[in-house]
């Protein structure tokens, strides 16, 4: 079997295609959740905390300074913990949403499996025995 044919067989399996679709949708969903957190959830929380914008929260380790020789500003050294808080909230919401989606899909799969299968058709022997029983009842 050629390498190209093997790759084509692998790539066209349902699981690989499903995974690719899931990754693409997951990426788009992540952007939506990030926007919800940044634009809808965090502003009211910041307002409740005294008008704080979480992305601006930082701990300054060294202030920005002017380099006299080159007349350029050296940037400040900061720990941006506000951005970390926002990304952590993004992650928690995405993880919760994915958990709920997987839980819903699994419950639907369980319902499909739990559906009773049609009883098997009676064998030829069972049909003949039933006919004999019915004939004996008539006597």
* Band (79; pLDDT cuts 50, 70, 90): very high
Cα separation, 129 vs 131, whole angstroms: 5
pLDDT above 80 for 44: yes
Note whether residue 45 is domain-resident.
Answer: yes
- For residue 71, the domain's CATH number is 1.10.1200.120
**Which residue range forms the structural domain that includes residue 109?**
3-115
For the segment 87-122, what is each residue's pLDDT rounded down to a tens digit? 888 888 888 888 888 788 788 777 766 667 778 888
Residue 133 resides in a domain:
no
Q: What is the pTM of this model?
A: 0.54
111, part of any domain: yes
Query: Is 98 within a domain?
Result: yes
Distance CA 128, CA 134 (A): 10
Tell me, yes or no, whether 29 lies in a domain.
yes
Residues of the chain above pLDDT 90, percent: 2
Whether pLDDT at 124 is above 70: yes
pLDDT of residue 112: 67
Average pLDDT over residues 49-72: 84
Within a domain: residue 129? no
In a domain, 138, yes or no: no
- The fraction of the chain above a pLDDT of 70, given in percent, is 92
Q: Where are the alpha helices (DSSP H) in 41-80?
A: 42-48
Contact 24, 44 (CB under 8 A): no
Are the beta carbons of 60 and 76 closer than 8 angstroms? yes
Q: Is residue 132 part of a domain?
A: no
Of 29-33, 62-66, 94-98, highest mean pLDDT: 62-66
* Overall number of domains in the chain: 1
Q: What is the pLDDT of residue 113?
A: 66
């Amino acid at each position: 079997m050629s390498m190209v044919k093997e790759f084509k067989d692998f790539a066209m399996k349902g699981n690989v295609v499903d995974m690719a679709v899931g990754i693409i949708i997951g990426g788009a969903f992540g952007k939506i959740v990030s926007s919800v957190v940044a634009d809808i959830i965090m502003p009211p929380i910041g307002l409740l905390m005294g008008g704080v914008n979480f992305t601006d929260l930082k701990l300054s380790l060294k202030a920005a300074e002017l380099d006299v020789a080159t007349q350029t500003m050296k940037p400040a050294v900061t720990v941006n913990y506000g951005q970390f808080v926002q990304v952590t909230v993004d992650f928690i919401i995405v993880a919760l949403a994915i958990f709920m989606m997987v839980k819903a899909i699994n419950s639907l799969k369980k319902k499909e499996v739990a559906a009773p299968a049609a009883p098997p058709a009676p064998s030829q022997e069972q049909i003949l025995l039933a006919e004999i029983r019915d004939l004996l009842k008539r006597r």
